[in-house]
Amino acid sequence: MDFLIGFILLFTVFILILLLSIHLKTRNQGRFLFDKLKHIKDFSLSQFIMGQQNSFLLAVDKERELVAYILPNSQIVFPYESVLRIEMLEDDVIVSERVSERVGHNSSFQEVVSKEPYSLSPLKKEDGKSKVAQVVMRITLSKGENPWLPIYCFNAKTQLFGGSRTLDLTNMESQMYRKGKEMAYHLDMLFSKIIDRVDEEYLKERVFSEEEKEIYSDAIPKLIADELEKLFELKIKGALSPEEFSQQKKKLLE
């Protein structure tokens, strides 16, 4: 009986030490990622999303329209306009997809998007169970030798205790999967807004053929109306003077 009590106490202490070490490692890594962000030249933080266990930091500079994706051993900074497609995947299955309107009008963009993306590294599903092993947001960029940027929102191999599913305390794997899925939806909304922003500017600046004018004739007035509404809200809030509002409105309607 005493042996059993002693074993339980030792096991409890082991688990507490393990959880404490994970907490300290996670906290230190978060600070490290933010320190790396501070050293990025000409980048002002407007919004950020931190990965589970501080595995990554995704930061947005809305003023300069830049995105920074920072890992402990690497980082990449890219402009809004380089985002061509976003995909949410569970393992290798595409759950949702969004493609920029610009792809249909640019042959080089079409070539990038039409390439076969690399397959995500499959994780073994234990005991034949159908558990999702990873949730990934895959971003297709217009530049770079490797245009696919995978953002791992949940990875059973690296985010559980040494990748072991046998040590699944308090159903931790299911909790981390749900959090990862929620994070993927946040990233999906963020990058969808980025694509919307760039596409709006593209539609306003593009010179359309007669055939394209028929296709986009309904879209352009709506985009202009949305921009006018934003200008009006800025005027109401006092961010724009009446003169500035008139100037911006005139420029928008030209």
Residues 92, 94, 98, 101, CA torsion sign: positive
Contacts 24+ apart (CB under 8 A), 226-231: 226/200, 227/200, 227/252, 228/252
What is residue 44's DSSP assignment? -
Q: Which residues contact 18 (CB under 8 A, 6 or more apart)?
A: 161
What is the H or E stretch that residue 22 is in?
helix 2-38
Alpha-carbon distance of 195 to 50, in angstroms, equals 21
> What does the pLDDT read at residue 251?
73
Check residue 166 and report its DSSP letter: S
pLDDT tens over the chain, length 254 residues:
566 676 666 767 666 665 555 555 556 788 889 999 999 999 999 999 999 888 899 999 999 999 999 999 999 999 999 999 999 999 888 999 999 988 988 888 888 888 877 665 555 554 445 678 899 999 999 977 678 999 999 988 766 544 444 444 446 678 888 899 999 999 999 999 999 999 888 877 665 555 555 555 555 565 666 676 677 667 656 677 777 777 777 776 66
Separation of first and last alpha carbons in the chain: 86
Starting at the earlier edge strand, list the strands of the sheet with 74-79: 47-50, 57-61, 66-71, 74-79
pLDDT score for 92: 84
What's the confidence (pLDDT) of residue 152? 93
Per-residue pLDDT at 7: 60
Q: What is the pLDDT of residue 166?
A: 42
Q: What is the pLDDT of residue 84?
A: 95
Map 65-134 to HEC letters.
CEEEEEECCEEEEEEHHHEEEEEEEECCEEEEEEECHHHHHCHHHHHHHHCCCCCCCCCCCHHHCCCCCE
pLDDT at 139: 96
Please indicate, yes or no, whether the overall pTM of this predicted structure exceeds 0.85: no
Which of 100, 186, 84, 85 shows the shortest CA–CA distance to 135? 186
CA atoms within 13 A on the CB side of 250: 6
